[in-house]
Amino acid sequence: MLFIYLNKDVQLVTRNTAKADIINMYKKEKEIVKSLLDDAPVRIYFTLDLRTSLTTDGYMCLTCHFIDNNWTLQKRVLSYTFMPPPHSGLALSTKIHNLLCEWGLEGRVFSITLDNAYTNDLSVDTLRDELNLKDLLVCKGDHFHMRCCAHILNLIVQEGMK
């Protein structure tokens, strides 16, 4: 009502209309990113991060990094999604694999960078085994798991401060 008071020409929309518009906008942007990824001549690097909200809800962010046809480094967030407990290695691996399949990138993976958590090690091992069954990794996945340098440095500093 405040908007109508300030400007009588304002057209208010319902929350359902706003929701539908946002979903359509997301679908269009997703197709643009898919097209960009399809045109990329190289394999794709991924980073994965898990976050916990103030209400202790878990969220997972999957980002891809690749070089486009113009030799420009690109990075795109493919998914920022709710990650219900448990955050086991199998649950993470399944979620990552489903996202790779959803985006059509299962056969384009080069490596993935994660924190040094034990569950991340399990999830990477499970995902590597699953992708190797279909012979989709370079060098059988020998260079598939990259450890996060920032996380390693943080662990060193934390230990040194003790």
Chain mean pLDDT for the chain: 88
Is residue 63 packed enough to be buried (19+ CB in 10 Å), middle (13-18) or exposed (0-12)?
Answer: middle
Please report the domains of the chain, with CATH numbers, ordered by start residue: 1-39 (no CATH), 43-161 (3.30.420)
| 86 prior amide bond cis, ω within 30 | yes
pLDDT in tens for each of the 162 residues of the chain? Answer: 677 777 778 788 889 999 999 999 999 999 999 999 999 988 999 999 888 888 888 899 999 999 998 999 999 999 999 988 877 888 899 999 999 999 999 999 999 998 877 788 888 889 999 998 888 888 888 888 877 777 778 778 888 988
Place of tokens 């996060």: 148
CB-based contact 83:50 (threshold 8 Å): yes
CA distances from 118 to 1, 121, 126 (A): 53, 5, 13
